[in-house]
Structure formats: C-alpha cells, structure tokens
Structure 1
C-alpha cells in the first residue's frame, strides 16, 4: 500500500523561486482555491507569518507568501518604496500565471496591497488589509514605543509582545508565546532575518515621505472603488491606530472594517483561526 501523501503546510512546504526581471523572488504556496497573495510587514520575511493563520486560510484558498526583492531569500535590489513592493507582488502573480487574485498585506504590506489594487484594479478580486493605514494624512501616528522596539538590531519575544500583541493582557501575552512557538516550528529552509543595517538604509531612502503619501489618487480611489476591502485591526494597535480608519471608512463604498478588542498590531497571530474564518467568509461572499 502506498504511503499517504504528505499534506503541505506552512511549516513543511518548500520555498520555491521564480526568475523575473533579473531577480529571483522566493515564495511559498499552499492550499487550493481562490489565490490570495500576502505582502509582508516592515522587517518581515517569509517566516514572519504565523503558520496557524496561513494553514487556516489554505483550507479554502491558494495562499502565496513571498520575500520582497533583495530581502530574505529573494535577490535583487531591496526597497521599501511602496510601488516597488507592489511590483514584486504583481511580478510574482505574472510569473505564476495568475490573471486575477485577492491581494492582501500586513502593516507595510497593507500599503503595498493598496498600491497593487490602485494600479491594477482589473486584476484584483478583493483586498485584505491587516494592521495597516489608509492613504494620505492621518489623525494619529505610531506610538513612540513602536520605534523603540521595531528598530532594535534583534527582536526577542518581549519585543514581539509589545509590537504585535497587547502586553497589558495576559491572554494576549499567552497568545504571543503560542504564536512565537508556531513560527519557530519551521527549522529548515528558513528565510534569513533582514540585517539592521539594511533596514536603516531602506528607511533612509524613504525618509521624508508620509507613511502612505497620497501622490497617485490613492485616497480618492479607496473612496470610490467597488473592489471590496476587508480591514482587520486591533483596538490596541500601536503602529497604525484604527481610529484613522474610523475617519475614512464612512466615506468609502466597499471598505469593511473589523476591530478586534484587546488586540494589537497582529490580530491574525493572536486569533489565527478567527481571522482566517473572517477572511474566508469575506472572499466567499464577494
């Protein structure tokens, strides 16, 4: 009798590569169904996603994660310029033969996701935005503690608790430890951390910009587009305060806002199954 096939999960799926425009993009691909491409956060790599979240999404979707150019396992010139991050996602979709897909992103990746949607609306089925900001000037900025922790050369579990969870909640702290252990479960073919020197260089190149400067009609597009967007945020968000979405959402046609209580910048890591169920239901009912 043949041995049963190994189920591909976020922990065991191999890293794959595509050669496109003179660089090599590293990506991972699990599940079947409507394709969902996820863009990474600041300092994020392939192994910054919680496997439980990706696996829960992969029950109903083809989930594709990747490293931006020149970061992690990808080659090329690294950049945190939003149009270049967005181009990485589009080039990957082209290389995989995906004409239409759901685009999503966490934090900085949510900005890249919105840029993809603005520049290629005919290809986007929906937009999934986690812990990110709307375009243009916002009422509230990141809290100082974010910069204190996010720019440390190496982040430990305590930094993760502060950056992505809600340190005043024991439940959230316990969830942080559980998520940290799930991420650490992958021990082979791991994407390398981004050196702090590279991080600072990328920040210097974008210094002077607003976080998401509205230089291409991004806000007007968000207000008028019929492409559905699901925004997921914690009410204790320290990077991109959810109150900024309160100011914008009533002016939009297709933005759905979900706020999780007593959660921070990474609700999909604190409540991976709930977030995946929400995203799955959202996409299923487009």
Structure 2
C-alpha cells in the first residue's frame, strides 16, 4: 500500500528529513510530491486548501492508485484531511503530523517574531530552529542534526518555492484557521483510522489542535511528543517513522 506525502507551508521535496523518509520507506512504497506550483511543479499554487486537495487527487489519479495511505504535515495535513474526505473509497489510513482541523484554535500566528521568520523571503537555519524546534538544548541540538541531514545531498536539488507560492499558501492556511467550531462536524465523515501527532510545544500549530482532531475523528489515536515543537517528526525521526509503520501495518 503506497504512502503519499503532502508537505508543509513553503516546503518542497528537499524539505523532508531523509532519516524519517528512509525509516518509513524501509517497510513500504513512499511517494513524495510537490503540489501544483510548488518547488519543481508547474502551474499556479491555489489559495485554498480545498483546491490543493483536488490537485493532489488529480496527481494520485494520474498514478492510477486504486488504494493508498496519506501522510500530511502541517499545511499538508490540512490537504490530507480534504483528500481523505473526498476519496473515502481510496484512502485507507491517514497520518496527520503537526496540523489541525478547519476552524481550529490559534492556528493563525499573530506573534510578530513568528510571522517575520515564517514569511521571510529567504529564511535561514536560525529561523528553522526557532520555528520547528523547542527552545531547549536537546531540541535545538536535534534541529541542528536535522539541518545537517538536509545538506547531505549536494546534487539534483528541487527548485525552491516561489514567493507567489508562499503568499497563496498563506492565504489558504489563514482561511483554514478562521475559528469556526461548526466545521468540526465534518471530521465525523473522516472515518479512516488516523494517527495524529505533534510536539507538545508547537508554536506554529499548537498541539491543542491535534487534541481536537483526536476528539472529533471517529477512529484516531493521538501521540504528543515531549520537548518538541512543530518539527517533532524530524527530532524523533526514527521513533516517529517506526510508529507510522506500526500504525499502517495494523
């Protein structure tokens, strides 16, 4: 059963942690994709999560996958929810990492420091460490190791996401995050077994949103990782990758 990966805000194929992907790929086929207008993909990035989901479905249909699992990280987790809701006969299981339900709580960052680092034209290593990892020695050290792994491959790089893609994704992310409890009822229709996980100190998508997902999804299990932020899946790459495989193998 192939596992389709959907990436975070501004992320491309090169943004995935090779240690996480290799851990999961040891047990199953993995498919990483730049959605429309992202990285090396052509076209114009949509400004709604719903259209991003339809574009992802078009890609999956082109691969002629009759059944598949889906893994969504952050913005990709929002897209993954929509894919699972729209294609319940094809999506078997879902992994939602550091994401939240439509209409959740505190999903639209208002802290000027977070916004400045998130929207910077050319974010650097210090921005990733601040946004993705907790401000502790252990988490920051894990972040440094993650950045080293990203630099291991020196050829055949994916194209970076454009500023136009950033702006359209930001519009989609912001619209998704408008607080609206009435949207939670849609989660009742996402009946597939779902693994929900986050870091306990996520400043981009607070873990309370993962708890909401676990509360409203009919068949969800929740794991909040300690001493970790938005990038918990990279801080605990092998541990989380193993958890994902165990969940998908059930």
Q: Give TM-score, length-normalised by structure 1.
A: 0.80
Verify the 8 A CA contact 2:98 2:210 in the aligned structure 1. Answer: no
Specify the alignment match of 2:8 in structure 1. 41
Tell me how far apart the structure 1 counterparts of residues 65 and 180 of structure 2 sit (CA, whole Å).
Answer: 28
Q: For the residues of structure 2 that align with 1:115 and 1:214, how far apart are their CA atoms?
A: 17
Question: Do structure 1's residue 87 and structure 2's residue 54 form an aligned pair?
Answer: yes
- Give the number of aligned pairs: 249
Corresponding residue SS for 1:79:
coil
CA 1:207–1:111 in 2, change beyond 3 Å: closer, same or farther? closer
Q: Deviations over 1:199-240 (max 9, x none)?
A: 235535x4872427779x863232354311111100000111
Shift of 1:258: 0.5
**1:196-275 equivalence runs, <5 A:** 196-204=163-171, 206=172, 209-211=175-177, 219-275=184-240
Partner of 2:133: 165
Cα–Cα, structure 1 residues 108 and 226, in superposed 2: closer, same or farther, change >3 Å? same
Which of 224, 245, 248 matches 1:280?
A: 245
* Equivalent-residue separation in structure 2 for 1:208 and 1:185 (angstroms): 33
Distance 1:140 1:202 in 2: 14
My pick for the range that moved more, 108-117 or 134-143, is 134-143
Query: Hey, what's the Cα distance between the residues in 1 that align with 2:175 and 2:16?
Result: 27
**Structure 2 residue 84 is matched with structure 1 residue 124:** no
Residues 138-149 of structure 1 correspond to what in structure 2 (within 5 A)? 138=105, 141-142=108-109, 144=111, 145-149=113-117
Higher alpha-carbon deviation: 238-247 or 146-155: 238-247
Bigger helix share: 2
Change beyond 3 A, Cα 1:139–1:51? closer
Instruction: Please say if residues 97 and 196 of structure 2, whose CA atoms lie closer than 8 Å, have aligned partners that are also in contact.
Output: yes
TM-score (norm 2): 0.91
Q: Is the 8 A contact 2:104 2:209 kept in 1?
A: no
Cα distance, 1:218–1:103 mapped onto 2, change above 3 Å: farther
Partner residue of 1:65 out of 24, 32, 57: 32
Please give the residue correspondences for 1:10-21 in structure 2 after superposition, counting only pairs within 5 Å.
none
Give the 3 Å change call, closer, same or farther, for CA 59–172 of structure 1 in structure 2.
same
Which stretches in structure 2 are left out of the alignment for 5+ residues? none
User: What stretches of structure 1 of length at least 5 have no aligned partner?
Assistant: 1-33
